Chain A
């Protein structure tokens, strides 16, 4: 067989189980594809030896009839996850050369499930960005191009490398993390599936922290079924993360019946925003119609505090980040500036952090420091926390009223060109998260499903938001939408 890298997790798993291929073959095809795709700048630390070692071990387990859920399936890991002995630098200069002595819980669970790590994936620095352009490695590039254009497009961010790698078939799936939309927006931009589970589903232990109360890991895959398989392997209670939920993990894949008859799908009027392209509006309406055709009831709902979500998010996330990133001080690991005679500890901090952090990270650390400072704390941070409570309550109210899931656009536009936003006001970039941040603020599960292409041939995604801890039900609704949308487009290989 050839081009095994083009398979999804479920297909590859079934072939492996039938003995029709091996993990080593799968892995080799992925490694070949990765080596041929440097133009995408998706994999920033490649680990071929480690991958083949794990692939061989997986093949042995399969032969012994002891194959766990993801045995032998090659995947990529976002650079935000600490991976033992492998560079893990959150796409930041400040963690240059950092090789952790520990493995994040999520990547360990994936390894325990037999998954084969191919390497580390590009991302925005410390997951701060929506275009992968803040990375110290340089931006990842989307495999997609507008019809008739060779302008390079963003794969989205922050999990841009993950999205690009999955969309370009460099791996079967990848991990992402999502603080304000960092899984769902890149998934939507690249025609892939990305789910952010309920806050507390996936352990944050060993994942470099951006905003602790918002960060969640999740899978980025080629199908909803693949997302189900991989999410199950990633989540579960972890005593090392106090915010991890002590809940059993259901068999998500078994819940994919495609039957959503009688489910109530809410359409929130506040997500109809000025300036949203007509194509997005149309896609949203199409999505609702598809779900209706599949037997769901479509209900207009209101989430009245939606408009405050983005400002609240851009207070809370930087506030937490400013504190979480204080540990990068040049004292114990990572980059330390070369000092001059007479420089003291203050100069060491200032020079190290000025050199180690890129402009976007510096901007957010400064915003966060400002909103937490004496005299501004109540006006910003505390007010944002109150808004967050109200946003959460908006969702609780509609779920209490019988809504099973909420359908919204995933992004306000299709992927934009790299560099197009460089000169823009940073707020323009932040607006990318307008449909996704509410979900993080409320701690809910959200999934982006590819649902169509725009008139330039670029993929567009729809977002489904579910009830807390009901990822299984959410995945099933997404599965129904995926079936109905029948999205099959793939980027042409130009790289």
Chain B
């Protein structure tokens, strides 16, 4: 694979009353595994079902019920780990995290504290301005999601929906390598992109299938570099964890707001308490979730209902051998093979389906031209109607056909746009449409010349001006195009205009 090289982005700096401050951010991303059934039960994971309809006995923690691991979920965690170039632990184990809450029927969440299935990996986070940073991933572990408590349906009662209870989450824990709100958002975008490529998580943040806890601390410039050199957290400030955010915009806002809160505390001579906070987007503030007296002691211990999870290297190798091409590799290949700009390659590889569409379109054709058509015409048109690429009415074959007609000078770029609209709305084979509707461009120089001569004859004043100022030649080109209904080959028209005016 080709590696693209990047400059490091500058850390976000916030000026306090006394100092400049830098931000240090680590993230715990909870990604729901795309599986049909839950981590330890056969109940469906389908979103939007009637409350409490996707609940197996074990999900409701009925007496005597036991968890049985869903192998598919293990495979997805391993795939995700491999996609993040991470170490896969052949031996991992499940632990119980004990706490009481009505949407946690067992009274504990089955998780992997001591021996996660995936170890250290990394994510290349691009900022889109030619800078990028490798964010280290500390670990990925599997765990059960909790259910949903609903407090606003009745003034005196709370309700619980267990549909989500026991759904498999991957918790992807980063090192504190993220240096600003934009980087935090870009990190999530990249993680989501990789998981979508792998098919391990659909990345739907609106449905809560991708959520993040964000750890934020502040430090004086230079301190972070000391941390990097020593890995000693003592060089960094005390962090606060902002819980459970599922909006890219709120994540960025929350980081900034929290950093400013911490700066005000420290500059005022106070100390930041390590605590869990919630972001309130309406008030634009973070607030403490619980007091110290209520601090949880989760009493983690190995879940005795489950044997240690042992997987075989050969199985991991097999999964690795069948991984799809991942975003970084695809982007580098698009740049190398199709001559695309970094930006175009990024846009085209953002979604795996779009990348596949582009490749099918560009195959055996001019890559840059294909990229322009996919990005500018197709994406633009799809966006107008809120379609995504998988529901595009224009197939890669059809778009390729249009591009072929352009490349062969059969139609002009302008006509091509009309043709695209016809194909988009009516369908059909582009070449046949061009033939049937007489959209072919006029390459017969005799016909073009006749039209041009007529225009020159009718506009002597313009001819004189154009001879002094060659830029005005464009006016004649436009008139010829108009006279030929846009079908004249622009190249031929340009040549003839230049020739005639130069005479």
Interface residues of A (CB under 8 A from B): 81-82, 88, 90, 95, 98, 100-102, 104, 204-209, 211-213, 239-243, 319-320, 322-323, 325-327, 329, 331-333, 345, 349, 369, 372-374, 377, 381
Contacts and interface: CB of A to CB of B under 8 A. Distances in A.
Given A242-B306, A331-B105, A208 B60 contact: no
Contact of B299 (A101, A205, A331, A373): A373
B66 A323 contact: no
Contact of A82 (B64, B101, B299, B306): B64
A100 B62 contact: yes
B164 to A, nearest CB: 16
B297 A326 contact: no
Scoring A243, A325, A327 by chain B CB atoms within 10 A of each residue's CB, the highest score goes to: A327
Contacts of B62: 82, 100-102, 332-333
A375 B411 CA distance: 78
B489 interface: no
Contacts of B107: 323, 325-327, 329
B63 A213 contact: no
B456 interface: no
Contacts of A104: 64
A372 B100 CA distance: 15
Nearest to B294: A346
Contacts of B69: 242
13 contacts: A90-B63, A100-B63, A204-B66, A205-B65, A208-B64, A209-B63, A243-B304, A319-B301, A322-B98, A331-B105, A331-B160, A349-B100, A374-B299
Given A204-B66, A209-B64, A374 B106 contact: no
A349 B61 CA distance: 16
Contacts of A81: 64
Contacts of B57: 101-102
B49 interface: no
B102 interface: yes
A333 B66 CA distance: 17
A171 to B, nearest CB: 22
B330 interface: no
A309 B251 CA distance: 52
A68 B69 CA distance: 33
B63 A327 contact: yes
Contacts of B106: 326-327
B98 A374 contact: no
Interface string B295-306: 001011100111
B301 A377 contact: yes
Contacts of B305: 209, 212, 242-243
Interface in B61-75: 61-69
Given A332-B61, A333-B62, A213 B102 contact: no
Given A209-B63, A320-B301, 12 more contacts: A82-B63, A204-B66, A205-B66, A241-B66, A243-B306, A319-B301, A325-B107, A326-B100, A327-B107, A329-B100, A332-B60, A369-B299
B64 A205 contact: yes
A320 B304 contact: yes
B277 interface: no
A356 B306 CA distance: 28
Contact of A327 (B67, B105, B297, B301): B105
Which of B107, B108, B160 has the largest number of chain A CB atoms within 10 A?
B107
B468 to A, nearest CB: 87
B483 interface: no
Nearest to B299: A372
Of listed B60, B106, B299, residue having the most chain A CB within 10 A? B299
Nearest to B309: A242
B304 A212 contact: yes
A356 to B, nearest CB: 13
Interface string B69-99: 1000000000000000000000000001010
B417 to A, nearest CB: 61
Chain B, interface size category, equals: 20 to 34
A385 to B, nearest CB: 8
Given A323-B299, A323-B301, A374-B297, A206 B64 contact: yes
B320 interface: no
Nearest to A341: B156
B336 interface: no
Contacts of B68: 239-242
Given A323-B98, A327-B107, A332-B61, A242 B66 contact: yes
B243 to A, nearest CB: 19
B447 interface: no
A369 B307 CA distance: 22
Contacts of B299: 322-323, 369, 372-374, 377
Nearest to B98: A323
B301 A372 contact: yes
B102 A326 contact: no
B304 A373 contact: no
Contacts of A241: 66, 68
A204 B68 CA distance: 12
A243 B69 CA distance: 12
Interface string B171-203: 000000000000000000000000000000000
Nearest to B61: A327
Interface in B263-304: 297, 299-301, 304
Contacts of A213: 304
Contacts of B66: 204-205, 240-242
A208 B108 contact: no
Contacts of A373: 297, 299
Contacts of A242: 66-69, 305-307
Nearest to B103: A331
B98 A326 contact: yes
A488 B410 CA distance: 107
Interface string B33-74: 000000000000000000000000100111111111100000
A33 B160 CA distance: 47
A205 B57 CA distance: 11
Nearest to A214: B304
Contacts of B61: 327, 332
A334 B160 CA distance: 17
B301 A88 contact: no
A207 B64 contact: yes
A323 B305 CA distance: 11
A313 B68 CA distance: 26
Contact of B98 (A206, A239, A372): A372
Given A319-B301, A323-B108, A329 B64 contact: no
Contacts of B98: 322-323, 326, 372
Interface in B302-336: 304-307
Interface in B92-134: 96, 98, 100-102, 105-108
B64, B68, B100, B107, most chain A CB atoms within 10 A: B64
A209 B300 CA distance: 18
> Which of B63, B65, B107 gathers the greatest number of chain A CB atoms within 10 Å?
B63
Contact of B63 (A95, A329, A369): A95
A81 B64 CA distance: 8
A120 B304 CA distance: 27
A322 B100 CA distance: 12
Contacts of A320: 301, 304
A250 B64 CA distance: 26
B153 to A, nearest CB: 16
A442 B68 CA distance: 23
